[in-house]
Amino acid sequence: MSRLKKEIPLYLSEEDRQGLRAAGRFNAQLMDFLRPHVVAGVTPLELDRLAWTYTTDHGHTPACLGYKGYPNTICTSVNDVVCHGIPNDVPLKEGDIINVDLTTIVNGWYGDQSETFLIGETSDEARRLVQTTFEALYRGIRACRPNCTVRAIGQAIQTFARAAGYGVVREYQGHGIGRAFHQEPGIPHFPDMASGRHILKPGTCFTIEPMLNAGRWRTRVDSRDNWTVRTMDGSLSAQFEHTILMTEDGPEILTLTQDGPQEGDTVCASVAAARS
């Protein structure tokens, strides 16, 4: 996101941190709830409906719905869609990859995360891209220390992604998060100059959400809906996102799932059977 709110205090008290932890925990629970449904035959709109119902049944608020006019609860970005894919009624099919991006407001605090899922048997290239993107997220997280620069994150991610031959998306970044969806600091996934002046003090909460393209990094927004972002060259794109709290002891991942891939794992296709 490029326009970030400036007025929000960045250094969070222990009470604030508990609020963010609860939001991250619920958001991760929502991801685990959706996980078995992300299979061939399901439509992104069905996933969207499931996410809306689960969120509101638990008394929480879908953050994307109505955000700057966004029409749905979740973002579903399939194949060459980089991010902000609007859920549609096209069933997922074997060989697709889909990023599911979830954001929830829990007692005024935001939790934000995404995963890219492999639908059934995918090409080796799709698997390698998704695996590399998953590992790139953790390269970014492990580059974080208290009072490090934001640039350390982008440096780690870009170095890793480039070695694999992938383009790192520049137009969309991670972001500070708290009582607002998107706030300072911006977290670019490449080492830009300005991020070398921004320090991650304990009490800062932010997302890391690298988008890697199998081809070149450039993207374009679909002019029909003004949301859907695709790779310019039509290549596949993958993304993973966590919400991170910088503590006095290092980064704390607030959106860890129970059932999803854990740090060091190989990302694999959902074990759930395809829906006929």
The residue ranges that bind ligand MF3 (CB under 6 A) are 1, 64, 67-68, 70, 75, 84, 101, 103, 112, 207, 209, 241
- Our finding on whether 101 is near Co ion (CB under 5 A) is yes
Query: What sign for the dihedral angle of Cα 11, 13, 19, 21?
Result: positive
Q: Is the peptide bond before 185 cis (omega within 30 degrees of 0)?
A: yes
Single-letter code of the amino acid located at 273: A
Rounded least distance, CB 150 to ligand MF3, Å = 16
Smallest gap from Cβ 121 to ligand MF3, in A, equals 28
**Closer residue to Co ion in complex, CB, 101/135:** 101
Helix ranges, 8-150 (H): 14-34, 44-57, 124-142
Residue 67 site contact among Co ion, ligand MF3, none (CB < 5 to 8 Å, cut-off depends on kind): ligand MF3
Minimal distance, residue 70 CB to ligand MF3, in Å: 3
Residue 153 CB, nearest approach to Co ion (Å): 14
Regarding 207 and contact with Co ion (CB under 5 A), the answer is: yes
Select from Co ion, ligand MF3, none the partner in contact with residue 70, using the beta carbon and a kind-dependent cut-off of 5 to 8 Å: ligand MF3
Residue 211 near residue 188, CB atoms below 8 Å: no
d(CA 210, CA 207): 10
Which of 219, 216, 217, 213 minimizes the C-alpha distance to 236? Answer: 213
Q: How far apart are CA 237 and CA 129, in angstroms?
A: 8
Residue 81 or 118: which CB sits closer to ligand MF3? 81
Nearer to ligand MF3, 127 or 175 (CB): 175
Nearer to ligand MF3, 64 or 150 (CB): 64
| Strand bridging mode 199-200 / 148-149 | antiparallel
H/E segment holding residue 211:
strand 211-213
- We find the least distance from the C-beta atom of residue 153 to ligand MF3, in angstroms, to be 15
User: Considering beta carbons, is residue 138 or 181 the nearer one to ligand MF3?
Assistant: 181
Query: Quick check: 112 binds Co ion (CB under 5 A)?
Result: yes
Residues 6+ apart with CB under 8 A from 197: 149
Cα–chain-centroid distance for residue 73? Answer: 14
Nearer to ligand MF3, 80 or 241 (CB): 241
Contacts with Co ion, residue ranges (CB under 5 A): 101, 112, 114, 207, 241
